[in-house]
Structure 1
Amino acid sequence: MESIPFDFFLIGTNGRYVLQNSASKQHWGDVIGKCPEDVTDDAAMLAHWNSNNRRAFAGETVEEEVRFTAGAEEKFIYNIITPIKDRDGIKGIVGLNIDITER
């Protein structure tokens, strides 16, 4: 997980972050134990995150390119959110944010 050079995180069924790699911590700070609402105060970003998370918790894999502004810098991110399943159902969701700005 630490060798992944982009944001990696896991959200449990309670909606809280339970795992995060250092690349994610570098971008978002330590979010373990927090909900998305605790991580951003950008209402549009939060609504987008919550929509994607609901879709993943419903069993869908969400893949998309997202554009956002980080300070004065425009970034393009390839985002993947997918459910973690076992035979008893969905146990959480895992997310990856891959910076594709340079492409």
Structure 2
Amino acid sequence: MRTLARITQKIAARTTTVTINWQDHHAYESEDWNLIPDWADHLASLDVKIAWDPGRHGPGNNLFFIINDTDGNWVELSAELEQLTYDRHVSIWPHGEKHRTCGDTDIFAARRII
């Protein structure tokens, strides 16, 4: 597990730092993109809300959407994950702000501890 949050609280004249570790998400692959809307409809019928609208990852080039399970974990459902061969050239993927938001929604807001 990787450290995703470092919280600093000012108590009296001291500063206390707390490190919280958790799993970012787990992912499951569907056979093809045509099944993704079926999964979304099925989950909606169970009152499970989509936490991250359908999109396409840069690395992997797969289509996906994310829900929160009942414990608050992110669960990714994806399809069409790119298959790499040994002769493929190395790529570098930028980590800009566009990867942190989905439209106007702050996708990390649910993970913040105040």
- Shorter chain as normaliser: what TM range? under 0.3
* TM-score of the superposed pair, with normalisation by structure 2: 0.26
Greater helix share, structure number: 1
* TM-score of the superposed pair, with normalisation by structure 1: 0.28
Higher RCO, Cα 8 Å, sep 6+: 1
Larger radius of gyration: 2
